[in-house]
Structure 1
Amino acid sequence: MKTFREQIVADNTAAFINFLEFAEEHNLNGILCDAIIQDVSIAESLSTGNGADQTYAGIYGSRLQINCLAEALPELPVYGQLFGIDDKQYLVESCADDMGILTIQLVANDR
């Protein structure tokens, strides 16, 4: 019987980051790996009301959320780091490691 941690590692690839669900191969900062990329609309956060205190207020931008295996990248991205996704450059807003799966928030100025 597998330990809990061993089962988590197995599930990360078999259930969460796999081609049968939502993962696709992407170039993450020069590394080809399986990842789930979600385009998060930031239209509201760039408006004057509720999002006035957000980063990049008042300009057009885009925000992505990336999920990939932590072991796929040689180092964890850090706040403010330039980070390439396929053919576009973004800035890292945050990065969290949740039991071996990274959630990376990226922002870009699209003007």
Structure 2
Amino acid sequence: MKTFKDQIAADNSAAFLNALEFADEHDINGTACNAILQDISVAESLSTGSGSNQTYPGIYGSRLQVNCLAVSLSEVPVYGQLFSVDNKQYLVESCADDMGILTIQLVANDR
């Protein structure tokens, strides 16, 4: 008999991170695995002021959110770790494990 945890683990790869549905294959820190990548605009979070007074204080960067199976990676990333996605280097801002799916927040300086 399958437990609830067994069913969640099966759904994680069969539904949520299925390459035919949501995910695509990416090179995640040296490992080819199915993942969902979401670019996050940093302009808003790095701006000061609002409206016509809104300015961007000389920071050029990008943020990326990665969702992948925890078992796909050799180790769970930690804050400040150098981390690559499809040969672009980032720093880990945070990482959460939600029932086997990692949500990894990454930042990069694009200067």
> Does the alignment reach a TM-score above 0.5?
yes
**1:7 aligns to 2:7 (yes or no):** yes
In the TM superposition, residue 49 of structure 1 has moved relative to its aligned partner by 3.6
Amino acid at match of 1:93: E
RMSD of aligned residue pairs (Cα, Å): 1.3
Residue in 1 that maps onto 2:53: none
Identity, % of aligned positions = 76
Amino acid at match of 2:24: E
In the TM superposition, residue 58 of structure 1 has moved relative to its aligned partner by 4.2
Aligned residues: 105
Residue in 1 that maps onto 2:44: 44
TM-score by length of 1: 0.90
In the TM superposition, residue 20 of structure 1 has moved relative to its aligned partner by 1.7
Query: Which residues of 2 match residues 1-111 of structure 1 at below 5 A?
Result: 1-49=1-49, 58-111=58-111
TM-score by length of 2: 0.90
Mark the runs of 5 or more structure 2 residues left unpaired by the alignment.
51-56
Q: Is the 8 A contact 1:93 1:107 kept in 2?
A: yes
> Which has the greater radius of gyration?
2
Mark the runs of 5 or more structure 1 residues left unpaired by the alignment.
51-56
